[in-house]
Copies of this chain bind each other. A is one copy, B any other.
Amino acid sequence: MIHPTTRVLAAELPGHVGESVEISGWLHRRRALKSVTFLVIRDRSGLAQVVATGAGPDLPEETVLRIRGTVTANPQAPAGVELTSPTVEVLSSLAEAPPVGLFRPAVEAALPVILDGAPVTLRHPRLSALHRITAASVAGFRATLDGLDFTEIQTPKVVSSATESGANVFALDWFGRPAYLAQSPQFFKQAMVGVFERVYETGPVFRAEPHDTARHLGQYTSLDAELGFITDHREVMAVLREVAAGMVASVAERAGAAVDLLEVKLPEVPAEIPQLHFAEAMRLLGVDEPDLAPAHERWLSEWALREHGSEFLFVVGYPMRKRPFYTHPEPGRPECSNSFDLLFRGLELVTGGQRLHRHEDYLAALAARGEPVRPYEGYLRSFAHGMPPHGGFALGLERWTARLTGTDNIRRTTLFPRDLHRLTP
């Protein structure tokens, strides 16, 4: 039984006009006028205004307070109510003033200041709002896949060989043996298709990216899904479409206040997201490189918006040589793959596709790339014992929130980012 508390949240005050109530929170802002002092209190639900006659308590912002007072209607106050005749109790005092004014409407500090002071700066409503949107997004991801009969899994983050992309792994000492941080749950989620058919995982992945850019981090949260008994990659894309729609709906439902505060324009996810074959994209772009540069992604996104009214675009059929060895080729066009990227507002957000599923195809694919079989032995076991046609995708959570909110750097959508230069706080 949760013991009843007498505490009322800021957002609940309009329902208590005329009552004596207790609120708790941080002193967000103190403004002393000639005859009254306003105390704005911040709690997890929002802000509450408290009015004390005279000078009121002289406390620095961020002091933690418990306040008893009378809820009084005042059309001028935020949400139409304020607390009057307050009795103020200090729960925690400050040892230091915050590095940024948390009460200011905008975050007036450079990124390093924000990141160095994260335990405090994240309290700024505009910064915490980003992470409420992240929490709502991941809830939407899970709810959508739960509804489609997926099973959640947890897989190892420490692996014995640096497979997958080969480079950019973090090395580790595991009880005296060399080991590596997992770059993705790819091999594990495929194996688990053999057990549950449909699986997802939401967890950290690690890339020793030597790039100091606004979109690369050493650790990020990967939202991974994989499903079996598909015909080809198009069923994976159909599931991803549902997931994107579910994530947007969850943000609207669970993080509405954050969306409003940040003035985020949530996208429409079309019932059928438009798609373009890679070869056709090359033709439209007038290039013949085997890769999409960031400028190409932006151009294609604009094209999709103009031609199809969609902020999302699937590019399918990437060249096999640009995709990992487990990628399934396009039937009748073996230089192309049954894979896709999902572009959203000018940026690649999701990569996915159909995988090989026959043991002999894996052996042939590794041989064709001149790769030894031995490091993949554990992985290949699933396929030796019968695996259905399957595919999946991976979505970077911090990138998603950044793109959704128009945030320029994923360090702002990561609680405590880890990169080339940053290991603290």
Please report A residues at the B interface, Cβ cutoff 8 Å.
1-3, 5, 7, 24, 26-27, 43-44, 62-64, 91-98, 117-120, 122-123, 128, 131-132, 134-135, 138-139, 142, 146, 148-149, 151-160, 170-175, 177, 179, 181, 188, 191-192, 194-198, 203-204, 206, 208, 210, 218-219, 221, 229, 234-235, 238-239, 241-242, 271-272, 357-360, 377-379, 381-389, 397, 415-416, 418, 420, 423-425
Contact of A204 among B132, B139, B154, B179 (CB under 8 A): B154
Contact of A197 among B44, B197, B241 (CB under 8 A): B44
- Give Cα distance in the complex from A131 to B132, angstroms: 29
Question: CB-nearest residue of chain B relative to A98?
Answer: B385
Cβ–Cβ contact A385 & B418, under 8 A: no
Closest 7 pairs (CB-CB, A-B) = A378-B425, A119-B191, A160-B423, A95-B384, A44-B197, A119-B382, A95-B359
Cβ–Cβ contact B64 & A415, under 8 A: no
Cβ–Cβ contact A221 & B128, under 8 A: no
- Give Cα distance in the complex from A272 to B387, angstroms: 48
Question: Chain B residues with Cβ under 8 A from A152's Cβ?
Answer: 135, 138-139
Question: CB-nearest residue of chain B relative to A90?
Answer: B386
Cβ–Cβ contact B3 & A385, under 8 A: no
Known contacts A44-B149, A204-B203, A238-B2: A156-B64 contact under CB 8 Å: no
Question: Chain B residues with Cβ under 8 A from A359's Cβ?
Answer: 95
Question: Chain B residues with Cβ under 8 A from A425's Cβ?
Answer: 191, 377-379, 381
Smallest Cβ distance from A211 to chain B, in angstroms?
11
Cβ–Cβ contact A123 & B208, under 8 A: no
Smallest Cβ distance from A29 to chain B, in angstroms?
14
Cβ–Cβ contact B128 & A196, under 8 A: yes
Question: CB-nearest residue of chain B relative to A209?
Answer: B175
Smallest Cβ distance from A270 to chain B, in angstroms?
10
Question: Chain B residues with Cβ under 8 A from A43's Cβ?
Answer: 197
Question: Chain B residues with Cβ under 8 A from A386's Cβ?
Answer: 26-27, 62-64, 92-94
- Give Cα distance in the complex from A383 to B135, angstroms: 24
Contact of A416 among B117, B135, B156, B239 (CB under 8 A): B156
Cβ–Cβ contact B172 & A153, under 8 A: no
Question: CB-nearest residue of chain B relative to A237?
Answer: B3
Cβ–Cβ contact A119 & B378, under 8 A: yes
Smallest Cβ distance from A317 to chain B, in angstroms?
18
Smallest Cβ distance from A236 to chain B, in angstroms?
11
Cβ–Cβ contact A158 & B3, under 8 A: no
Cβ–Cβ contact A170 & B172, under 8 A: yes
Cβ–Cβ contact A383 & B95, under 8 A: yes
Cβ–Cβ contact B153 & A131, under 8 A: yes
Smallest Cβ distance from A372 to chain B, in angstroms?
16
Cβ–Cβ contact B272 & A1, under 8 A: yes
Question: Chain B residues with Cβ under 8 A from A123's Cβ?
Answer: 194-195
Cβ–Cβ contact A119 & B381, under 8 A: yes
Contact of A388 among B1, B24, B128, B379 (CB under 8 A): B24
Question: Chain B residues with Cβ under 8 A from A155's Cβ?
Answer: 415-416
Smallest Cβ distance from A313 to chain B, in angstroms?
17
Question: Chain B residues with Cβ under 8 A from A384's Cβ?
Answer: 94-96
Please, could you name 17 A-B residue pairs with CB atoms under 8 Å apart, sorted by A?
A3-B238, A43-B197, A44-B149, A91-B388, A92-B387, A94-B385, A95-B359, A120-B385, A128-B195, A142-B142, A156-B418, A157-B204, A175-B218, A188-B415, A192-B415, A378-B424, A381-B425
